[in-house]
Chains A and B, each alone.
Chain A
Amino acid sequence: MIIEPGVSMDETIEDASASHLVGFCSQVQIKIEDNRVLLILPTAEEMPLELPWSEIWQEIKYLVKQREQSWPANAAVCLVVGDRLIDNRQLQSVEEVLTEAKLRLSAIRTSRRQTAVAAATAGYSVEQNLLPNPLSLFDVPPPSTEPVEMLAEPLYLKNTVRSGLEVRHPGTIIILGDVNPGGTVIAAGDVFVWGRLRGMAHAGARGNQMSQIMALQMEFTQLRIANSVARPPQKLPHNFVPEIAFMSKTGINLARASDFMKTHSFLLSEDCWVKKN
């Protein structure tokens, strides 16, 4: 019943360099709260490798476009920037993107004085916060071994993740579309691809070994679960069935998705999935 094509675990990342994979950094998030939209930028802490503003801005643009239908026209937006230094020009560039999506930048939430000054000067209302980032679900980056219970709400994307695009989310990611070669999906939770997975997917990116990757067609260039990495088998099957990738005792394995939950269970003591007898 269970097919487990030869996906072998090639390597386990054990050295210090693993921490950047596991110390998951969330990027821009959008939440809807009390009739307004919160646009949350990653804190400096969540971003060990400082991203250039142009990339953050690109991502804001992309996310806003993605979720265009989720708010009424002219909805107010609060930009949550935590301890990040944001200048006038950057505020303006965010405003432009929001205006295009029929949103209105109304407030800035920050814990940093200079940012607050810039925002006030530009005429936005300022909500000052003393905590680093009160909205972050992960105030403290967890140590790599602790599975993380708290996940953000799933991120649902309805389009193709094309080459060069990297989607990161501190929860589960659901994609209705393909992940093309060169495209990357990184989730703290599970990854669902309702389409072909031909790029790279990383589930449990903060270290949760229970996380899984599911795709209608597994044609990935690489899979990662927690801190394990797998490359595709030499020979791809001709007839694809929906498959599920999971951590077994020996590393990342693939199984037919339809009966996986009936045939496997997660053993907490081993921190991996095992076959039921």
Chain B
Amino acid sequence: MRLSVFPAALLSCALLVTCGAAAPAGALTPAGAPASTSTSAGALTSAGVSAPAAPEPACGSPYLIDQVLPNGARWRLCWEMRVIEGLTLTGVTYTPPRGRPIKVLRSTALAQIHVPYDSGEPRFHDIGTLGENAVTLASADCPGGERRERFVCVTTRSRGHGYLKSRPGEPNLSAQGRELVVYSAFQIGWYTYLVEWAFSDDGAITPRVGATGSLSGFDTGPEHGWPTRAGNTHIEQSHTHNIFWRLDFDVDGRKNDVVEQYDFPGSGTAKRTLSRTVFTKEAKAVTAPARWWRVVDTESRNADGHRISWEIGNSDSARYRGPADEAFTRADLYVTQYRACERLASANPAPGCAASVDRYVTGQRLTDPVLWVNVSYHHVARDEDADPMPTHWQGFRITPRDAMAENPR
């Protein structure tokens, strides 16, 4: 599985990162672009080159979201409020400024909100019929945006500096980035969960969940909680929110998607070495410093001749590991072959199908990979969590890697 020999494209890509910083400011194309990889002319269908028309969206109003951001980037997707998973996004397609549409995800939704409390009990699987518990959003709950069928907010917001580069004798080269945001809120007992996906103008996606509402008020001993309210009579029980996302990637279409893991061993030495692991079979993986994964289309290439991919970073997880009967908590990423009945990471509501994501991994060969990302947050209550509890967020990043040949600005 571990490959020691890298294709030329990858090596030169690694070189580009270092060379790029020293390249003259005016260079539009990185100088190190390898000539050897620009072989198949037919594959060079990127920015500006004979862009085919966008495929017809699979949904109609009010389920279609079609947003052009100020830099000219366009996101198109469909939403659906499913009874079980709640807000579900399908057919997620990114079009870079002046570029052609690139499909990223066939579908994405939450796959579980698992909340084990620190004393060992209770332990909740909060999905659930999320769709039945969607909160009706007021117009103030959807600033600057548009509410769809009362439950979904579609809006845009600033994401800070897209870039800022000083130029001697010239104004700074800078821009404020912007992102499309799609979210719903769900009332699950005392918690209100904000379930959000942000699609930014540079092609990145940030799925995240914010927990707000109220604390449970469960009292426990000082070894399992933190005193809240006046004095020391109430110890609010600590707990973990283990949130799972299911992501059915279809990078530039369903075919030829491969999942790779990248590591950079050499800790404690002066050198770091790029190391790539290709998941040819269903797999579980855990986070590690500097580790990331990507879903790469082995056929589609950008104008630099590099394979189009989206990268998954998951470095903020508290990495909760549960007992043996909660083996689904023991990895941070699962890669499984698509199966229609595999929908939730635990308590999967399908007869004749495995019950949890750890059991979806059976060593099957991967031809159509589905990724399951697990991000946990350990919540130790504080006085500031008094009603209404401030939102605590958890999520991860999906970033384009060589989907475009240059900064999509």
Q: Do A and B bind each other?
A: no
